[in-house]
Amino acid sequence: MDKSNNHSRFLELRKAYPYFVFQRYSIFRTKTSLKFRFHFDMAGKFVFEPEIEIPARSFYNLAEIPDETLENLVFHIGLVELISYWKAACPPRVIIRAGYLNREQTEWWKKLYFNGLGEFFYLNGIETDREQFMEMVPEGKPMDVARMRLEENRVLVPVGGGKDSVVTLELLKKTDFKVRPFLLNPREASLRTIDIAGFSDDESVVVHRTLDAKLLELNKAGFLNGHTPFSALLAFVSALTALLSQSRYIALSNESSANESTVPGSTVNHQYSKSFEFEQDFNAYLEKYIHPGLHYFSFLRPLNELQIAALFSQFPQHHFSFRSCNVGSKTDSWCGQCPKCLFTYTVLSPFLPQPKLEKIFGKNLLKEKSLEKILQELDGRAAVKPFECVGTPDEVNAALRRTFDFQTEENNLPLLQHVAGPDARNYQQVFGRLLHQVNHENFLNEEFMRIILKALENVTV
């Protein structure tokens, strides 16, 4: 992705829009849904009112959630939402009137905002630092931490429709844990995933998020735009829905490679809010300021992308229904031209036959010479990785070498040629190592870890 030089525009907008206010939130309870509306004001010139709606479910215990607990959670969701609107002009002063933050919380949020916007700053050519980019001014009143009872074996599983959440859902549903799928702005692929896994829509937590259309108008008008930490929003919304569904555990599907910087030698990480660092920070924040009994963790954190691909290959019922392509998300398709498509095709190649992959993706992506530049970004030959949720260069090169070695009828494929020579043979050993290693930097308890280790026993090529 090409960089822009918007630093002067950044300074100009900060001068024109010197403050941003999180004024308030509104909560609407009806028989059919629970809805929140946030009120943001940018320097008295623009007002934004995004909404979140949670359709009613028979298993929700809304009546048992104290008003102050609900208000605290909605306030925190608003704190994540505001960053999408703040970034349009990056006002230097952010006034929080909707709730209270102490000094420790303020620093926590500044860290999330700054690191979560690392890609935004990098691609816009904006030079700033964590101290200077924003001053937060809390003016609201403190709220109490929730203490309500949660089910010890209830697990909320966010489902996005890709291979990772398929693996989490399928592995956990076979255990003694009670699994509850969670879908934020569900798309066709995520709905298919829960259906194939044996869950109905009525058994699942569904949340609808609506952006304020004025933000899109500002984007078109030349205001600043770029990536925001969506998974941080998912984290806080999942905390609320975990309390609604009495779920003690929130099991994400982020793997170990999400910790790697997108720009080598920097802290810029497209997947920052999927990283172990954020997971660690969020758990500490949950315990102190939301609910001490909630446990947020990535079930797949011990694994790398090759191991997840190997496990996914064992669930053929999902092979033609999953989707990971962001470009084709609105049309429920694989575009076949983006880093996400090429990466997914590549890591599955050692575990699924090429004819099947061609049917899934519509063509053999390893034949596409036009994807050579993207491959170089994925395999480490280019200076910067794609700004997508993709794995490490070692994972990519090991998968390609394995495909070259064991699919001999396909070893003349254009995108395999850089791993064809003797210098690339070391990736044979890398492949074996990656397939059997375990990342111990994780928040899985013994029960969840046993499930992962048992699943790895069945990984073969």
pLDDT band at 417 (very low <50, low <70, confident <90, very high): confident
Q: Which of 37, 247, 9 is nearest to 148 (CA)?
A: 247
d(CA 251, CA 448): 10
CA dihedral sign, ordered 333, 337, 338, 342 = positive
Across 185-234, the runs of DSSP E, i.e. the strands, are: 205-210
pLDDT of 115: 93
Q: What is the mean pLDDT of residues 201-229?
A: 96
Q: What is the pTM of this model?
A: 0.95
Q: Is the pLDDT at 423 greater than 90, yes or no?
A: no
Mean pLDDT for 70-78 is: 97
User: In this structure, are residues 239 and 290 in contact, taking their beta carbons and an 8 Å threshold?
Assistant: yes
Percent of the chain exceeding pLDDT 70 equals 96
Residue pair 48/214 in contact (Cβ under 8 Å)? The answer is: yes
Q: Confidence class of residue 461 from pLDDT cuts 50, 70 and 90?
A: low
Contact assessment for residue 307 and residue 435, using Cβ atoms and an 8 Å cutoff = yes
Q: Tell me what pLDDT residue 427 has.
A: 86
What is the four-CA torsion angle of 166, 172, 175, 178, rounded to 10 degrees?
-110
So what's the pLDDT on residue 64?
A: 87
Q: Per the structure block, which two tokens stand in for 229?
A: 């930490």
Three-state helix/strand/coil letters over 154-189: EEEEECCCCHHHHHHHHHHHCCCCEEEEEEECCCHH
Average pLDDT over residues 426-433: 90
Contact 270, 227 (CB under 8 A): yes
For the chain, what is the largest distance between any 2 Cα atoms, rounded to a whole number of angstroms?
68
Report d(CA 38, CA 26) in Å as an integer: 7
Residue 89 pLDDT exceeds 90: yes
d(CA 123, CA 263): 11
Can you point out the beta strands (E) in 223-316? 247-252, 295-298
Question: Residue holding tokens 């996400």?
Answer: 340
User: Which of 257, 298, 285 has its CA nearest to residue 172?
Assistant: 298
Instruction: Give the separation between CA 333 and CA 320, rounded to whole angstroms.
Output: 11
Q: What was the pLDDT predicted at 2?
A: 62
Averaged pLDDT for residues 318-328: 95
Question: What pLDDT was estimated at residue 14?
Answer: 98
pLDDT band at 82 (very low <50, low <70, confident <90, very high): very high
Query: E strand or H helix at 51, and its extent?
Result: strand 51-55
The residue that leads in pLDDT, 81 or 268, is 81
Average pLDDT, the chain: 92
Backbone angles phi, psi at 284, to 5 degrees: -65, -40
Q: Which two tokens stand for residue 259?
A: 């910790």
* CA gap 159, 460 in Å, rounded: 26
- Residue 80 pLDDT level (bands cut at 50, 70, 90): very high
Residues making up the chain, counted from first to last: 461
For Cα atoms 450, 456, 459, give the angle at the middle one, nearest 5 degrees: 160
Q: Which three-class secondary structure state does DSSP give residue 50?
A: coil
Residue 72's identity, in one-letter code, is N
- Check if the beta carbon of residue 19 is closer than 8 Å to that of residue 43: yes
Region 310-315: what's the mean pLDDT?
98
Average pLDDT over residues 187-194: 97
Rg value, the chain, Cα: 22
pLDDT tens digits along 10-41: 999 999 999 999 999 999 999 999 999 999 99
What confidence category does residue 409 fall into, taking pLDDT thresholds of 50, 70 and 90?
A: low
HSE, side-chain direction, 13 A CA sphere, residue 139: 12
357, 320 in Cβ contact below 8 A?
A: no
- The pLDDT value given to residue 252: 97
Element (H, E) at 35: strand 33-42
- Give residue 406's pLDDT: 77
Residue 411 has pLDDT above 60, yes or no: no
- Output the pLDDT for position 323: 97
Does residue 264 register a pLDDT over 90? no
Q: What is the sign, positive or negative, of the torsion defined by CA atoms of 38, 42, 48, 51?
A: negative
- Is a pLDDT exceeding 80 seen at residue 300? yes
* 11 Cβ contact list (under 8 Å, min separation 6): none
pLDDT at res. 152: 93
